[in-house]
């Protein structure tokens, strides 16, 4: 199935705020769609209940008994070494969430279909997290309970797919990044201009292998940004000099980093490019499906080459 066809089934506000029954029904519909799709492709599928008696969101809004699900699909490889590719299926209020993060979810669905008849050297786990928009709740729960889904020593790393469908001539940079990453940005510029025609891998010191693997397999222009905060001695100084480096912590790779686990975020740079970020206009017609397919092909080749 084409990526657009997958995405058209997913779009629509999908969250569990108590006052929005339609959005709650939509997120449950999408979770059922994912389970049915992964199962039909022959993957072992598991609903991991994300249960908090009480948690406080990043906006200091408190919720009690707002349970959700991480959807986990596993394809056993020749070894128990496990590579994870993840996205999140929830949205903010009043946004249909085509790019954020329908594009990440449909890449999981596409990979499940493409790999259903393939024997892999590594065990692959596709995970769709819940409650990302409430403060990385689903991914934090997954990390806290990692031993329930795999032997932690087998964990090879996670590629977190976070908005990958918007491309344009418009590209902004967080304040200070033009100086901090001048070499990488220089590579991305064309005739002195920086366009939004690339996707980006954000990694840290534990995830160099992951970043290198995707760069080797990529089918399109790719930028790579290392989180400088984990650099010994200099890291804290860089954080003080360039506070915007904290923008690198805005997705589901962050709970893995906090536990010292290898993780990368793969992104189209979100609101530094996409004017529809977290708005009602984040719709299917804004997505560049040709470039999204190139990202999909890059991920597929990376998985096939993983040893």
263-304 pLDDT, tens digit per residue, is 999 999 999 999 999 999 999 999 999 999 999 999 999 999
- For the chain, residues with pLDDT lower than 70 are 1, 52-65, 228-248
Q: Which two tokens stand for residue 225?
A: 């940004």
Residues 6+ apart with CB under 8 A from 242: 174, 175, 176, 177, 179, 180, 228
Pairing of the two strands 155-162 and 263-267:
parallel
Q: What pLDDT was estimated at residue 64?
A: 66
Residue 217 vs residues 38, 168, 222, 295, 296: alpha-carbon distances, Å: 24, 23, 10, 10, 11
Distance (Å, rounded) from C-alpha 148 to C-alpha 75? 16
How far out from the chain centre does Cα 163 lie? Answer: 7
Sign of CA dihedral 138, 140, 145, 147: positive
Query: What are the start-end ranges of the H helices in 197-271?
Result: 208-217, 234-241, 254-258
Does residue 49 have a cis bond before it (omega within 30 degrees)?
no
Q: What is the pLDDT of residues 214-259, one digit of tens each?
A: 999 999 999 999 886 665 655 555 455 555 555 667 799 999 999 9
3-state SS, residue 305: helix
Strands (E), 18-109: 44-50, 54-56, 62-64, 68-75, 82-88
SS3 66: coil
Backbone angles phi, psi at 87, to 5 degrees: -150, -175
pLDDT score at 67: 83
pLDDT for the residue numbered 267? 97
Q: Where are the beta strands (DSSP E) in 131-179?
A: 155-162
The pLDDT value recorded for residue 269 is 96
Question: What are the chain's domains?
Answer: 3-305 (3.40.630.10)
pLDDT at position 62:
67
> What is the structure's pLDDT at 44?
98
């Amino acid at each position: 199935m084409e990526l657009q066809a997958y995405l058209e089934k997913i779009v629509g506000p999908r969250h569990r705020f108590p006052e929005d029954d339609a959005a709650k029904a939509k997120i449950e519909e999408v979770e059922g769609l994912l389970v049915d799709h992964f199962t039909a492709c022959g993957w072992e599928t598991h609903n991991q209940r994300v249960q908090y008696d009480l948690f406080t969101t990043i906006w200091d809004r408190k919720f009690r008994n707002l349970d959700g699900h991480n959807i986990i699909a596993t394809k056993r490889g020749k070894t128990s070494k496990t590579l994870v590719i993840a996205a999140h299926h929830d949205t903010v209020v009043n946004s249909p969430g085509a790019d954020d993060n329908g594009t990440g979810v449909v890449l999981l669905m596409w990979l499940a279909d493409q790999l259903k008849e393939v024997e892999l050297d590594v065990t692959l786990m596709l995970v769709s997290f819940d409650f990302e928009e409430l403060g990385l709740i689903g991914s934090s729960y997954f990390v806290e309970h990692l031993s329930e889904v795999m032997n932690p020593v087998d964990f090879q790393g996670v590629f977190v797919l976070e908005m990958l469908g918007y491309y344009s001539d418009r590209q902004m940079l967080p304040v200070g990044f033009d100086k901090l990453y001048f070499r990488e940005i220089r590579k991305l510029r064309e005739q002195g201009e920086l366009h939004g025609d690339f996707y980006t891998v954000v990694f840290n010191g534990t995830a160099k292998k992951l970043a290198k693997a995707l760069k080797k397999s990529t089918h399109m222009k790719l930028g790579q940004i290392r989180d400088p905060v984990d650099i010994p001695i200099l890291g804290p100084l860089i954080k003080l000099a360039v506070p915007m480096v904290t923008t690198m912590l805005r997705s589901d790779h962050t709970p893995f980093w906090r536990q010292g686990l290898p993780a990368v975020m793969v992104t189209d740079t979100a609101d530094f490019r996409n004017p529809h970020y977290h708005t009602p206009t984040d719709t299917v017609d804004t997505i560049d499906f040709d470039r999204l397919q190139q990202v999909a092909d890059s991920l597929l080749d990376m998985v096939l080459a993983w040893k």
